[in-house]
Amino acid sequence: MNKKEGILYLIFGILTTAVDYMVAMCCFELLGMGELMANNIAWVVSVIFAYITNKIFVFQSKSMERKVLIREIFSFFSARVLTLLFADVIIFVAVRLHIGFFWAKIISSVFVVIANYILSKLYIFKKTK
């Protein structure tokens, strides 16, 4: 990872996390949804945001060719589904241990951010020659 890419990933990662937390907490606190439903709705919104910002700003994948877009979108969302499942398990267990939804999301986010970067860098937005 070069320095610029790392800084941009951090900035947009923070923004994506903020989107995720805001949507999750609104769903949980204001709409009274369960933890996993709130987390999953927030996931959809934040993953769309993350795909767009990662493609354009972080990994600078410039291709708008249909074949490339389909591969990127499928890969991006597939990788995120994998990390969503891990996050849901962590949240489910943490809430049952009376840790609380907010803290459970923080704990799960540590794993998710690292895993998502690795998957994006190595598989989704890999540089092709």
Please write the tens of the pLDDT for every residue from 19-56.
999 999 999 999 999 999 999 999 999 999 999 998 99
Q: What is the pLDDT of residue 127?
A: 63
Tokens of 57: 């700003």
The b-or-e profile of 71-83 (16+ CB within 10 A means b, else e) is ebeebbbebbeeb
Element holding 11 (H helix, E strand): helix 3-25
Model pLDDT, residue 1: 66
At residue 117, the pLDDT reads 80
**Which residue ranges in the chain fall short of pLDDT 50?**
129
Q: Structural domain boundaries of the chain?
A: 3-124
Report pLDDT for 128: 54
